[in-house]
Amino acid sequence: MSMDELFAPMKEPMILGAAISIVVGAVAIVAGLTYFKKWGWLYKNWLTTVDHKKIGVMYILVALVMLFRGGIDALLMRAQTAVPENGLLNAEHYNEIFTTHGLIMIIFMAMPFIIGLMNVVVPLQIGARDVAFPRLNALSFWLFAVGAGLLNISFIIGGSPNAGWSAYFPLASTEFSPGVGNNYYAWSLQISGLGTLMTGINFITTIMKMRAPGMKLMKMPMFTWSALITNVIITFAFPVLTVALAMMTLDRQFGTKFFAMQDGGMDMLWANLFWVWGHPEVYIVILPAFGIFSEVISTFSRKNLFGYKSMVMSMVVISLLSFMVWVHHFYTMGHGVMVNGIFSITTMLIAVPTGVKIFNWLLTMRHGKITFTTPMLWALAFVPIFTIGGVTGVMLAMASADYQYHNTLFLVAHFHYVLIPGTVFGVLAGYHFWWPKIFGFRLNEKLGKSAFWFIVVGFNVAFFPLFILGLDGYARRMYTYSADTGYGPLSMVSFIGALAMAVGFALICYNIYYSFRHSPRETTGDPWDARSLEWATQSPVPEYNFAIVPKINQLDEFWYAKKEGRDITAGKYERIHMPNNSGAPLWMSGVMFLFSLFFVFSEWTLVIVFAIATLGFMAYRSFENDEGHYIEVAEIEATERRLRGEK
Ligand code: HEM
Ligand SMILES: [Cu+2]
């Protein structure tokens, strides 16, 4: 690689500015850690941790950072299109921004946020001490983190991917996208995807094998159910992505013609493989949110969840259907009427189980004693907004109608109307709900609610106009338009909505600082008077989770025990076996980062060096003896007393 190629992006002042601020920020963090002598602490307590709760927190932290990176992309796009014939961004830069925006939001924000919450909550909800494979869990996190890092350096080193988040061929082939941008696409998704696949296997095993005594499958909390089904989808969908990306790499870097058009390559093969993964992917990010809403709505309605069994069944049906609808993403790419018709019907069928869930949530609230806490507000806003998203989805599902508004802003409005209330409101509900469990104090409700209003109102102002613009013929992914189209005024409205959302997200961040300083510490472990097992632990949760593993007789055992005055965590303490921390996942992922980075630039000698290093790590690990350690009874007693606020 030549220096010229490497630093090509720096020729743009905006990117140069961003690069400088990243370097300054990094230097400040390193200097700060050194000055306050925090390196050892950081390494011992966080970077090498195998504790599912801390791994969860790190996932959420990175997801929040990515939310802001993806959010800046979004603001830039809306600013560029706010007025006709704007010159803020050029076409190339705009292409890069919508590509990385989509990728970052789905792969490096939504999914990790959800996996982070799953990490924190699932073992607690089932009464376990950790996940089945704690060290693998750490490896999953670090692979995701370095994948995110790889994608994020692309915009300063060598250039970002620019062929859309769906990277359609032939556009994504070297013929039409000659730079290294789409190599970054393949490798950042590849290594983070491997981490996700490991998470899938890890959580299926955890939920199947590590539930507290007596917790039958049909006695599991709904969030754990949603996590189980999601991880099954992950385990089936991600291998398809792995293979598709490997073929993409072969096409782009070794001259094969799987997808690239010359010599009989099939561009439609990519479209199919991408959406065989991609459609289930949208359910990977939405089902856990459904689980979160179920927990939040039943907790703050003071009622058990209406239609528990039908909730589980509908998620199972959705997971099956999610693998049978992928063709609806390319009705217009030349199938016959028969194929389009079949996929039209399977797609519309998804509305049935989804509708069942919506009615169950409404019936859970019916006659409930509702308290309007911040998490509950997110859940309440989700129901009507998501319904608009679903209904417009059914509109798009009609193949013949889709010819009209496919690839217009109508489509963009549809998927934001499902993904933002679904995933973003979902993780925000979960984040406010479980925050006191993780950190031992509540977030400020007033700030939480103002952020809520900014985001919910801003969201509708930003995205509802896109339905209208789309029906008017405003094509998706255009970097500018002429004034005669008449798209100007509504585009400006949309930009203003996006600004309001940005204010809301800034308030959410400020809330962390404010509440850390001013909120009283939480000593009950159960601030919301909630229903499931995670609230039976102390807050913040000690390393071993449960001093005594509870026995379960029914769904919501903790809730009924509270009402009957039983303590399900009483008993005699015994010493607890826990896994040891390990630096291996961090270092191995670091090595794989370098491997991928040099692969992106086809620097083969270095690729081979780091491939051998990766294998070396695996070999080393397989000879290592690590028996873990015990936490003694005296220490458990002291910890429990301290967290209950006793001296
Ligand atoms: C009743 C349920 C739903 C139906 C019937 C439905 C239908 C559709 C259809 C037919 C398309 C393709 C439209 C086109 O390309 O012209 C589409 C695109 C999309 N949908 Fe949905 N959808 C539903 C729910 C969801 C959910 C729950 C999510 C995410 C959480 C979602 C996310 C997306 C995304 C991201 C795209 C566009 C991807 C792209 O081209 O970049 N949809 N939907
Ligand atoms: Cu789809």
pLDDT band at 216 (very low <50, low <70, confident <90, very high): very high
pLDDT at 108 > cutoff 90 = yes
Task: Say how many Å lie between the CA of residue 321 and the centre of ligand 1.
Answer: 13
Question: Residue 322: helix, strand or coil by DSSP?
Answer: coil
* Ligand 1, CB within 6 Å, residue ranges: 166, 282, 285-286, 328-329, 347, 350-351, 354, 390, 393-394, 396-397, 402, 406, 411, 414-415, 418-419, 422-423
Q: What is the pLDDT of residues 242-255, one digit of tens each?
A: 999 999 999 999 99
Phi, psi values for residue 441, rounded to 5°: -150, 155
The pLDDT value given to residue 9:
75
- Work out the average pLDDT over 477-491: 95
Quote the tokens at residue 617.
């790590």
Q: What is the pLDDT of residues 302-338, one digit of tens each?
A: 999 999 999 999 999 999 999 999 999 999 988 889 9
The pLDDT value given to residue 152:
93
Task: Say how many Å lie between the CA of residue 248 and the centre of ligand 2.
Answer: 21
Q: Are 257 and 269 in contact (CB under 8 A)?
A: no
The pLDDT value given to residue 35:
87
- Work out the average pLDDT over 541-553: 93
The whole-angstrom separation of Cα 346 and Cα 324 is 7
| Residue 636 parent element (H or E) | helix 633-643
The pLDDT value given to residue 647:
63
What percentage of the chain has pLDDT greater than the value 70? 99
Closest ligand 1 atom to Cα of 402: 16
- Work out the average pLDDT over 217-222: 96
pLDDT at 3 > cutoff 70 = no
Q: Are 228 and 218 in contact (CB under 8 A)?
A: no
Q: Whose CA is nearest to atom 36 of ligand 1?
A: 415
**Closest Cα to residue 137, out of 577, 611, 584?**
584
pLDDT band at 8 (very low <50, low <70, confident <90, very high): confident
Quote the tokens at residue 577.
């076996």
pTM of the model: 0.94
Q: Which residues pair with 578 in a beta bridge?
A: 629
The whole-angstrom separation of Cα 392 and Cα 544 is 46
- Cα–Cα distance list, 426 to 117, 223, 375, 381, 430 (Å): 11, 11, 9, 10, 6
The whole-angstrom separation of Cα 242 and Cα 249 is 11
Lowest mean pLDDT among 179-193, 575-589, 617-631: 617-631
Give the burial class of 337: count Cβ atoms within 10 A of its Cβ; 0-12 exposed, 13-18 middle, 19 or more buried.
exposed
The pLDDT value given to residue 1:
60
Question: Residue 475: helix, strand or coil by DSSP?
Answer: strand
pLDDT at 10 > cutoff 80 = no
How many CA atoms are closer than 13 Å to the CA of 627, on its beta-carbon side?
A: 3
For residue 412, give the amino acid letter: V
Residue keyed to tokens 């983070």: 192
Quote the tokens at residue 205.
């095993």
Question: Residue 603: helix, strand or coil by DSSP?
Answer: coil
Q: Are 97 and 9 in contact (CB under 8 A)?
A: no
| Torsion region of 220: left, alpha or beta (phi above 0 gives left; psi -120 to 50 gives alpha) | beta
Task: Say how many Å lie between the CA of residue 328 and the centre of ligand 1.
Answer: 8
- Work out the average pLDDT over 635-647: 86
Closest ligand 1 atom to Cα of 165: 41
Closest listed ligand to the CA of 394:
1
Task: Say how many Å lie between the CA of residue 414 and the centre of ligand 1.
Answer: 7
pLDDT band at 209 (very low <50, low <70, confident <90, very high): very high
The pLDDT value given to residue 21:
80
Q: What is the pLDDT of residues 21-75, one digit of tens each?
A: 888 888 888 888 888 888 889 999 999 999 999 999 999 999 999 999 999 999 9
Quote the tokens at residue 446.
């007033």
Phi, psi values for residue 578, rounded to 5°: -130, 155
Ligand 1 mutation pick, 415, 424, 474, max ligand atoms within 8 A of CB: 415
- Work out the average pLDDT over 367-377: 95
How many CA atoms are closer than 13 Å to the CA of 38, on its beta-carbon side?
A: 10
Q: Are 276 and 304 in contact (CB under 8 A)?
A: no
The whole-angstrom separation of Cα 49 and Cα 52 is 8
pLDDT band at 507 (very low <50, low <70, confident <90, very high): very high
For residue 447, give the amino acid letter: L
- Work out the average pLDDT over 146-165: 94
**Which DSSP symbol is given to 520?**
P
Closest listed ligand to the CA of 286:
1
